[in-house]
């Protein structure tokens, strides 16, 4: 199964904290986020990811780099704990596992259906079309002064049941994403060293299976 966590869209690093009183009403926050996403054509970043099993047991930690280009192209290069590449070229998803000498190929539309987090976070959908948003905290911000949003998918038959976004209220960057699934697992991704709108070439998202590997479709 393609990891649900690999559908995430983010922007800047942390910025100075803001007081809860400075946080606009919910609809203004959502509108601002949608505007930021619409105005961002591409970005690249370093990421760290942690997956927790039901009950809070740590199952996996990983890190690497990510590049995303609208409307539907992504590349995730994992450097730890093992080398792995996941490429979305706009038509297919390619998962390359060098240690197993294997490439898994799937249709992108099958892997990420309409209404999934991919649509909003990669720039295809719109937040309020796919999710019901709300503030996750009564005072709107956490101890760092960042806004916490809770997103509930409108499509109820998805394995994704909830998305938590931590948003820098000064830059309107999404700096942390937590995805909760129907099996009560959680995947959290944090971003750093982010570059936006640098004109990432389409060649970045082209994948050709290396010689000698098995392609599984």
Q: Print the SS3 string covering 113-152.
A: CCCCHHHHHCCCCCHHHHEEEEECCCCCECCCCCEEEEEE
| DSSP run (H or E) holding 88 | strand 84-89
Burial class (CB in 10 A: 0-12, 13-18, 19+), 170: middle
The helix/strand count (H/E) of the chain reads as: 4, 12
pLDDT at position 65, please?
95
CB 40 within 8 A of CB 196: yes
Q: Which fold has domain 20-197?
A: outer membrane lipoprotein receptor (LolB), chain A (2.50.20)
Strands 58-69 and 73-80: antiparallel
Task: State the burial class of residue 66 (Cβ atoms within 10 Å of its Cβ: 0-12, 13-18, 19+).
Answer: buried
Per-residue pLDDT of the chain (217 residues; tens, 9 = 90+): 444 444 443 322 223 334 444 678 899 988 888 887 788 888 888 999 898 888 767 778 899 999 989 888 999 999 988 899 999 999 999 999 999 999 999 998 877 655 454 554 554 347 788 889 999 988 788 888 889 999 998 887 667 888 899 888 877 778 888 988 888 888 898 888 877 889 999 999 999 999 999 999 9
What is the residue extent of each domain of the chain? 20-197
CA 109 to chain centre: 17
Cα separation, 82 vs 174, whole angstroms: 26
As given in the structure block, the two tokens for residue 30 are 């959502």
Q: Write the CB contacts of 41 (distance below 8 Å, at least 6 apart in sequence).
A: 69, 70, 197, 199
For residue 114, what pLDDT is reported?
53
Distances in Å between the alpha carbon of 79 and those of 12, 46, 215? Answer: 22, 11, 22
Q: What is the pLDDT of residue 211?
A: 93
**217 contacts 105 by C-beta, under 8 angstroms:** yes
Looking at residue 11, its pLDDT comes to 29
């Amino acid at each position: 199964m393609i990891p649900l966590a690999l559908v995430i869209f983010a922007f800047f690093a942390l910025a100075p904290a803001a007081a809860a009183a400075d946080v606009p009403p919910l609809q203004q926050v959502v509108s601002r986020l949608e505007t930021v996403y619409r105005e961002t054509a591409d970005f690249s970043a370093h990421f760290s990811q942690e997956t927790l099993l039901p009950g809070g047991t740590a199952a996996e930690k990983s890190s690497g780099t990510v590049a995303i280009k609208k409307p539907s192209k992504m590349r995730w290069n994992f450097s730890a704990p093992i080398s792995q590449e996941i490429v979305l070229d706009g038509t297919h998803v390619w998962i390359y596992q060098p240690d197993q000498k294997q490439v898994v190929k799937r249709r992108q539309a099958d892997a990420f259906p309409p209404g999934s987090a991919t649509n909003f976070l990669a720039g295809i959908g719109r937040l309020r079309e796919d999710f019901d948003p709300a503030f996750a905290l009564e005072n709107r911000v956490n101890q760092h002064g960042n806004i916490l949003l809770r997103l509930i998918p409108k499509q109820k038959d998805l394995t994704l049941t909830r998305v938590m976004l931590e948003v820098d209220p000064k830059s309107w960057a999404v700096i942390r994403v937590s995805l909760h699934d129907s099996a009560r697992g959680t995947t959290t991704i944090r971003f750093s060293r982010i570059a936006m709108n640098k004109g990432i070439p389409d060649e970045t998202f082209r994948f050709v299976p290396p010689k000698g590997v098995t392609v599984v479709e």
